[in-house]
């Protein structure tokens, strides 16, 4: 017989029950926040406000978006939610304006050299991601043989960013890859400014899973003396533009990485399990010289930190990885364990930029 708990819950007060009910409503309805954001992108609200000089009234938006006038009261309610949740700003006379978040969603505008993040929102709010999350309870109950498929794989029978997804839904696969590129390229300008010393003294660098080379090209433009390789799968490299700035290499980071003084793994490892990360990093270690010769691996990824104001965002990103991939987000202890198991001697967190960390790992 199980031992009875000695803990007795205190009966909530009337005020606590009323607050608890409101909190329950908020949690249960919070899915409407990303749905409202998705709707704003699909309607083109951020772009419309931008074209009005950064501020627009309700009537301006109804006219610019070619919406039926009868929908104006309903659009007003959507805009009120978007303003309350920090997607837009509004004033007492009903003028809506962009904030940094919504500026990232303006079509055709580059932010510090980075493309719009609209594809990322549309990806994460797609029916494929929603249905995967809705299957989470069933996934937990299943006794599945290792390696465990993600709930996304379990529900859809396809894996993100692989051929199976392209076969299942080519249009969504294209969107998901656009979202991945937007996610990966965002922030390299900030890294180059805030972590300038990261690249000082380097003569060569290989960017693992570097995609179309956007990140590597930004590094070469800032540091013209660095010779950059971009490693990615053949299907990615075959579509990459060849302009001579960087050297594209078709390959697989699990098997071989082009040698360089530094290897950069930017926003890659969170997609993979701990064992896979150890294998990837072991290949990185083989590709660099000694620490005395300047050898290092540059890891740019999330560093979960309970003291960070972005802790909740980091946890949401971790659960997103659990739902859609076989990877996870990691705290500093997790990173330390992986680095040591991969055969490295030391590391340091160079800087934390938002929810992400920039780390140097030494052989």
Calpha distance 260→205 (Å, rounded): 5
Indicate the length of the chain as a whole number: 363
CB atoms within 10 A of CB 93: 6
Mapping DSSP to helix (H, G, I), strand (E, B) and coil, where does residue 265 land? Answer: strand
Is it true that the peptide bond before 147 is cis, omega within 30 degrees of 0?
yes
Question: Using an 8 Å Cβ cutoff, are 307 and 274 in contact?
Answer: no
Burial class (CB in 10 A: 0-12, 13-18, 19+), 224: exposed
Please answer whether residues 17 and 9 qualify as being in contact, where contact means their C-beta atoms are separated by less than 8 angstroms: no
Please say if 52 is a catalytic residue: no
The DSSP secondary structure of 23-75, one letter per residue, reads: HHHHHHHTTHHHHHHHHHHHHTHHHHHHHTTSEEEHHHHHHHTT--GGGHHHH
Q: Which residue carries 């007003």 as its tokens?
A: 76
Distance of alpha carbon 147 from alpha carbon 150, whole angstroms: 9
* Torsion angle defined by CA atoms of residues 298, 301, 305 and 311, in that order, rounded to the nearest 10 degrees: 160
Nearest CA among 179, 200, 25, 26 for reference residue 116: 179
Q: Which of 132, 145, 157 is nearest to 324 (CA)?
A: 132
Which among 50, 129, 185, 270 is annotated as catalytic?
Answer: 270
Alpha helices in the chain (DSSP H): 14-29, 32-43, 45-51, 58-64, 72-84, 100-103, 118-124, 127-134, 136-141, 151-156, 163-168, 170-185, 188-194, 214-222, 234-237, 274-286, 311-324, 332-341
From residue 57, alpha-carbon distances to 51, 61, 62, 80, 109 in Å are 12, 6, 9, 12, 21
Catalytic residue list: 270
């Amino acid at each position: 017989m199980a031992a009875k708990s000695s803990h007795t819950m205190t009966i909530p007060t009337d005020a606590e029950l009323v607050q608890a009910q409101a909190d329950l409503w908020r949690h249960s309805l919070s899915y409407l926040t990303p749905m409202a954001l998705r709707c704003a992108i699909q309607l083109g609200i951020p772009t419309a406000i931008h074209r009005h000089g950064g501020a627009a009234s309700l009537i301006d938006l109804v006219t610019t978006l070619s919406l039926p006038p009868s929908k104006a009261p309903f659009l007003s309610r959507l805009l009120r939610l978007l303003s309350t949740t920090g997607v837009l700003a509004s004033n007492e006379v009903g003028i809506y304006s962009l904030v940094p978040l919504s500026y990232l969603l303006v079509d055709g505008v580059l932010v510090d050299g980075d493309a719009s993040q609209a594809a990322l929102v549309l990806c994460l709010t797609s029916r494929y991601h929603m249905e995967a999350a809705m299957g989470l309870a069933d996934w937990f109950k299943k006794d599945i043989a290792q390696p465990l498929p993600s709930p996304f794989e379990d529900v859809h029978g396809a894996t993100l960013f692989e051929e199976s997804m392209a076969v299942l839904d080519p249009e969504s696969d294209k969107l998901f890859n656009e979202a991945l590129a937007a996610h990966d390229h965002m922030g390299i300008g900030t890294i180059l400014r805030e972590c300038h010393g990261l690249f000082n003294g380097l003569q060569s660098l290989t960017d693992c899973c570097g995609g179309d080379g956007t990140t590597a090209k930004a590094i070469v433009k800032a540091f013209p003396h660095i010779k950059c390789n971009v490693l990615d799968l053949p299907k990615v490299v075959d579509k990459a533009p060849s302009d001579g700035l960087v050297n594209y290499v078709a390959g697989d980071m699990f098997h071989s990485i082009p040698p360089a003084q530094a290897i950069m793994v930017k926003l890659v490892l969170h997609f993979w399990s701990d064992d896979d990360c150890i294998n990837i990093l072991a290949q990185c270690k083989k590709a660099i010289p000694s620490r005395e010769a300047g050898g290092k691996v540059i890891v740019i990824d999330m560093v979960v930190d309970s003291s960070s104001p972005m802790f909740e965002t980091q946890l949401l990103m971790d659960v997103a990885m659990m739902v859609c991939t076989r990877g996870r987000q990691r705290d500093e202890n997790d990173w330390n364990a992986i680095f040591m198991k991969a055969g490295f001697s030391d590391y340091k967190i160079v800087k934390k930029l938002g929810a992400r960390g920039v780390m140097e790992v030494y052989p």
